[in-house]
Amino acid sequence: MEAAAPNLKNQATSIRVRFAPSPTGPLHVGGVRTALFSWLFARKYGGTFVLRIEDTDKERSEKRYDDELLQGLAWLGLDWDEGPQPIGVGGQLALDGVSEKGEFGPYRQSERTAIYKKYLTQLIESGDAYYCYCSKEDIEAQRQAMLSQGLPPKYNGHCRNTPAPEGKTPEVIRFKVPEVKVEFKDLVRGKVVFDAALFGDIIIAKDLDTPLYNFAVVVDDALMQISHVIRAEDHLSNTPKQILMGRALGFAEPIYAHIPLILNADRSKMSKRFSDTALLSYRERGYVPEAMINFLALLGWHPRGDKEILSREELIAEFDIDRVQQSGAVFNEEKLDWLNREHIKAMPIAEVAALAAPFFAKQSIVVRDEALLERVIAVQIARAKTLEDLAAASAFFFAVPEYEPKLLIWKDSSTLKEVAEVLSAARVVVNGIAAEDFNRETLTACLPLIVGERSRGVVLWPLRVAVSGHANSPDPIEIMSVIGKDESLHRIDAAIKKAKVL
Q: What's the confidence (pLDDT) of residue 455?
A: 86
Task: Give the mean pLDDT per block of 10 residues along the chain (502 residues).
Answer: 41 81 90 97 96 87 88 94 61 39 65 95 97 92 87 89 89 97 97 95 96 95 96 96 98 96 83 67 96 97 93 96 93 95 96 95 91 94 94 95 93 84 94 94 92 88 95 92 96 93 50
| DSSP-derived 3-state class of residue 50 | strand
Please indicate, yes or no, whether the overall pTM of this predicted structure exceeds 0.75: yes
* C-alpha pair distances (Å), 185 with each of 192, 231, 237: 6, 14, 14
Q: What's the confidence (pLDDT) of residue 4?
A: 36
Rounded Cα gap, residues 367 and 397, in angstroms: 10
In the sheet with 129-132, reading across from the earlier edge strand, the strands are: 129-132, 172-175, 202-207, 210-211
Judge contact between 17 and 41, C-beta under 8 A.
Answer: yes
Q: What's the confidence (pLDDT) of residue 85?
A: 56
Cis peptide before 348 (omega within 30 of 0): no
DSSP assignment string, 469-489? SSSSSS-HHHHHHHH-HHHHH
Query: What sign for the dihedral angle of Cα 488, 494, 495, 501?
Result: positive
Rounded (to 5) percent helix, strand, coil in the chain: 50, 10, 40
Listed residue (108, 136, 258) closest to 203, CA to CA: 136
Neighbours of 383 (CB within 10 A): 12
**Is 272 an active-site residue?**
yes
Q: What's the confidence (pLDDT) of residue 9?
A: 46
Q: What's the confidence (pLDDT) of residue 438?
A: 96
Q: What's the confidence (pLDDT) of residue 88?
A: 45
Listed residue (196, 210, 190) closest to 245, CA to CA: 196
Rounded Cα gap, residues 255 and 222, in angstroms: 12
Neighbours of 455 (CB within 10 A): 12
Q: What's the confidence (pLDDT) of residue 84?
A: 72
Rounded Cα gap, residues 323 and 186, in angstroms: 13
Q: What's the confidence (pLDDT) of residue 365?
A: 93
Annotated catalytic residue, options 206, 272, 362, 497: 272
DSSP letter at 82 equals B
**Pairing of the two strands 202-207 and 210-211:** antiparallel
